[in-house]
Amino acid sequence: MHRTASLLLLLFAPLALLAQAPSADAVKQERKVVPEVYQGGWNATGAAPAPTGTVDLNDLRAVRNQALVEGRGTLSAARINELEALYERLRAQDPQGQDTELAAYHLYFPEERAFAAARRAVALNAERAEVIAPSLALAHRIGDSAGKERWGKALFERGGLAPGLVEAGRDLLASVDRDGILVAAGEMDAYACWALQAAKGERTDVLVVDRRMLEDGTYRRQVWSAAGGQGTMPQSGQALMEALATASKRPLHLSLALARQVPGAWSGQLYVVGTVFRYSAVPLDNIPLLEVRWTGFRKPMNAGPLSHNYLVPAAVLLKHYRAQDDEAGIARMERTLRSMADKLGATSELYRNGVLQH
């Protein structure tokens, strides 16, 4: 039986890539078209705007992207203070404007006041592309089937979803067992999967959960019900995620981007079966399944931080082939890993972790 490789392998699967950030000057020139992270925003980061003059939503989004890069998907207290200062300046300029409401949504997500701000923003103008993602989150928060379909299709068709994330989303969905639960890290993986389900009807049997939103009680109730959770619903996002392993009959999977949130008690019960961990309380021979899925994966190298997650299943397969003295498998997987690592700038990390050998 082949359990998952050490979590140390995930050190080279960061949630953000500092090396991809452009210069501050470039950001200042492009700030009016700053994309969200699901639109490729990991490449659009930069310094805060000058303290004088006016600010707009894109100023805040640019700083938020930078903060997410630095914090590997989380916002530090210092960065939150910086974003709050920008928000206050924006609110002073236009107290009830749509940009102000959208800024509040991004700043306070996933708190209740963020969703309230999103509802007000949509009411002001539902046609702007900037309201698509908040509307999609709102629909999933309350289990609005029509809203999920409407806004999932909108995200796919006119929301600027990064092409690489679409392909990575397909691989994520393909990594999940029939009728499984997929706990995704956030905008890059959850939104791509939701869009594919709504716009293309792909893997609608999978319950895709946004881990960040589990901190919201309304969303927790939706997920607990959809998952068929038995017993009392846990009162925190982490506790609910952990409870799904045994309280639901649906097989549980975690996006590899959630490696830092994996419970320590699960270290011997997680198996890499694609670009996800599969929870199993009994030994699972994951290699045959992983080999089949790996062959069918698209493996986009333009999916920003999510592209790094392909290094993990490749490393697991390479470790297996070495243990089996499978020279053909070793040669094939080493070529693949070297090629991917070269494109992602991760070669030195693979050597340091002993995945690649001199």
Instruction: Give 108-138 pLDDT, tens digit per residue.
Output: 999 999 999 999 999 999 999 999 999 999 9
Report which of residues 25 and 137 the model is more confident about.
137
Q: Token digits for 260?
A: 């830092």
Residue 347 falls inside a structural domain:
no
Distance from first CA to last CA of the chain, Å, rounded? 28
Residue 291 has pLDDT above 50, yes or no: yes
- Mean pLDDT across 292-303: 97
Which stretch of DSSP H or E encloses residue 184?
strand 181-184
* Residue 4: per-residue pLDDT: 47
Residue 24 has pLDDT above 60, yes or no: no
Residue 332 falls inside a structural domain:
no
Helices (H), 145-273: 145-158, 163-174, 190-200, 217-226, 237-247
- Mean pLDDT across 4-30: 40
* Structural domain for 50, as ranges: 19-158
Q: List all residues 6 or more positions away from 30 whose beta carbon is below 8 Å from its beta carbon.
A: 44
Q: How far is CA 329 from CA 202, 232, 276, in A?
A: 31, 47, 22
Q: In whole angstroms, give the CA distance from residue 211 to residue 227.
A: 14
Residue 287 falls inside a structural domain:
no
Residue 50 falls inside a structural domain:
yes
Residue 350 falls inside a structural domain:
no
Report which of residues 237 and 358 the model is more confident about.
237
Residue 94 falls inside a structural domain:
yes
Q: What angle do CA 264, 268, 273 make, to 5 degrees?
A: 110
Q: Label residue 19 by pLDDT band (50, 70, 90).
A: very low
Q: Which residues pair with 208 in a beta bridge?
A: 182
Residue 337 falls inside a structural domain:
no
Instruction: Count up the domains in the chain and report the number.
Output: 1
Residue 223 falls inside a structural domain:
no
Report which of residues 29 and 356 the model is more confident about.
356
Could you report the per-residue pLDDT of 183-225, keeping only the tens digit for each? 999 999 999 999 999 999 999 999 999 999 999 999 999 999 9
| Amino acid symbol at 184 | A
